[in-house]
Amino acid sequence: ADFDMLANMDEARAALARVFGFPAFRGVQEQVVARVLAGQSTLAVMPTGAGKSLTYQLPATMLDGTCIVVSPLIALMHDQLRGATANGIAAATLTSVDADRGQTIERFLRGELDLLYVAPERASQPHFRDLLSQGRVGLFAIDEAHCVSEWGHDFRPDYRLLRPLMDAFPDVPRLALTATADRHTRADILAQLGIPDDGLIVAGFDRPNIRYAIRGRDNPLRQLKQVLAENPGPGIVYAPTRAQVERLADQLAGEGRTVLPYHAGLAPEVRAGNQAAFVASEDMVMVATVAFGMGIDKPDVRFVAHAALPKSIEGYYQETGRAGRDGDPSVAIMLWGPDDFVRARARLGEVEEHRRASERARLDALAGLVETAECRRAVLLRHFGENPPTQCGNCDNCLNAPGVTDATELARKLLSAVYRTGQAFGFGHVEKVLTGVADERVMQRGHDQLTVFGIVPAEEAPLLKQVSRALQARGALVANEHGGLMLGGDARALLKGEARLDLVIAERAERSGGRRRKG
Ligand code: ADP
Ligand code: ZN
């Protein structure tokens, strides 16, 4: 068997050069391919851009039988199909939009296909199982395998039906692939897809050339203009809604760079045109929703900016991971505000109840990342189950160690003021009460008579806004739709002295740390 393995891997290296034109495997690709060729089922967790597709496409060209690739998005399938076909691999997709389905089935039955891409809905149907049993299957590749897990951020029930399909072909190895899986999700994928625990291969998630910076959103337009000014080269600005994409694209244009919008609401030809322009350009900025970036291959993106909180740490990692695939220094900068958390926590109410706990944990992890005074990279990598050094030397907190101050007392004062003013006023009013500003509204309501009136000394007053932001990120303060603040679930622990609030001192040089424009 050892001899076979060596011969297999020699053959694999030859195919790597011949079919793909690559001189060597990257990272864990070799390990994954070796297992697949040895018929061992595997879960490969590899970050975006690490080269997952090659780990099944290469074996597919060597194995007897077709590699069945399950992939959740038709657009991604067609991208993959184009890539594979360009490399001379016999591949086809079997989806509702393919007119040549009959022909594809014939090719599969004749054993002519290396790769057959299907969506999970089709793969899980009985007649697909019948089809497979009439031909020859060499490998099951399950792309975006986190979709099988309720712990993952993108659960799709149809993925659960893949197990019975694969169990009907017990001799065919399984290769599950994902870019984003924390420890829980990984264990769940292994169990759900029937892959042994020792079949887990995790590529390092660290992207050392990306410099992470996260800061409060005070004046987004000014802050983003500064990011553009400090970071020449192609860049992406992610915004949460189509309207914000449009507005930001307008506002950021005219600074000497081409700035174009990208979102699902644009006409397909406009979207394709903007994307093509971006891929070809050397200094363009794309303002986009997260719809942008999947499946585009542009190695020299120099910065990725988030104008608002991303959906999850997984999303953040994936989106920032589009920077610097060429290995050159790149910047990832996120601007966040308390309203981002308000919206995210409101959305929690809409998810199905059995998923709420894991969604809440996901949001808490994100709050931990934005609030931390520790190394951002360390927090990020620990989230993905790694054991990173405590300092990376290439994130905002490492480069410019923030001061940390114990703001527990100040947080308590803010919470009591919110409580005593009746949990109906916005931050501005509560701030006036705390700092002893007796304006008309304060007097009218009698809030100058409260015990909390003027209890925050002038030197601490500038921290109040940040305390409010941190408390909202934690869910200790909740804003209603009019901006009125109320106590949230976590307020109690702070008020009772069971929790504390450490604050990163906000004053740091407002530099995103990118390369300066020359000259
Ligand atoms: P993923 O699916 O993990 O995000 P892809 O499969 O799209 O990554 O691969 C990312 C890029 O890396 C592609 O342009 C691919 O051609 C390239 N690539 C993959 N493997 C290698 C390799 N061994 N050597 C050089 N480039 C590679
Ligand atoms: Zn660091």
**Mean of the pLDDT values across residues 67-74?**
94
Nearest CA to ligand 1 atom 2: 52
Would you say the pTM of this structure is higher than 0.90? no
Residue nearest ligand 1's atom 16 by CA: 51
Ligand nearest to the CA of 294: 1
Give the model confidence (pLDDT) of 417-449 as tens digits: 999 999 999 999 999 999 999 999 999 999 999
Per-residue model confidence (pLDDT) at position 511: 40
Ligand 1 near 297 CB (within 6 A)? yes
Q: How far apart are the first and last CA of the chain?
A: 61
Ligand positioned closest to the Cα atom of 381: 2
As separate numbers, helices (DSSP H) first and strands (DSSP E) second, the chain gives: 22, 17
Which of 26, 58, 143 to mutate for ligand 1's pocket (most ligand atoms within 8 Å of CB)?
26
Stretch (H or E) spanning 502: strand 502-504
CB atoms within 10 A of CB 117: 27
What is the whole-number distance in angstroms between the Cα of residue 52 and the centre of ligand 1?
A: 7
Taking all residues of the chain, what is their mean pLDDT, rounded to a whole number? Answer: 90
Whether ligand 1 lies within 6 angstroms of the CB of 29 is answered as yes
Give DSSP secondary structure letters for 208-235.
TTEEEEEEE-SSHHHHHHHHHHH--S-E
Is the CB of residue 54 below 6 angstroms from any atom belonging to ligand 1? yes
Work out the pLDDT band at 76, boundaries 50, 70, 90. confident
> What whole-number distance in Å separates Cα of residue 293 and Cα of residue 323?
10
381 Cα: distance to centroid of ligand 2 (angstroms): 11
Task: Name the least confident of 464-468, 472-476, 483-487.
Answer: 472-476
Q: What is the arithmetic mean of pLDDT over 317-323?
A: 91
Tally the residues of the chain. Answer: 519
Give the pLDDT score at 3: 56
Residue nearest atom 19 of ligand 1, based on CA coordinates: 51
pLDDT band at 2 (very low <50, low <70, confident <90, very high): low
Of 57-66, 199-208, 279-288, 497-506, least confident by mean pLDDT is 497-506
What pLDDT is recorded for position 453? 97
Ligand 2 is an ion; its neighbours by CB within 5 Å are 375, 377, 392, 395, 398
d(CA 194, CA 167): 8
Q: Is the pLDDT of residue 186 over 50?
A: yes
pLDDT over 80 (residue 111): yes
Percentage, residues of the chain above pLDDT 70? 96
C-alpha closest to that of 139 among 52, 58, 50, 67: 67
What is the tens place of the pLDDT at every residue in 134-184? 999 999 999 999 999 988 778 899 999 999 999 999 999 999 999 877 888
Of 108-112, 364-368, 472-476, 479-483, which gets the smallest average pLDDT? 479-483
Between 27 and 460, the more confident residue is 460
- Which are the contacts of 218, defined by CB distance < 8 A and separation ≥ 6? none
pLDDT at 494 exceeding the cut of 80: yes
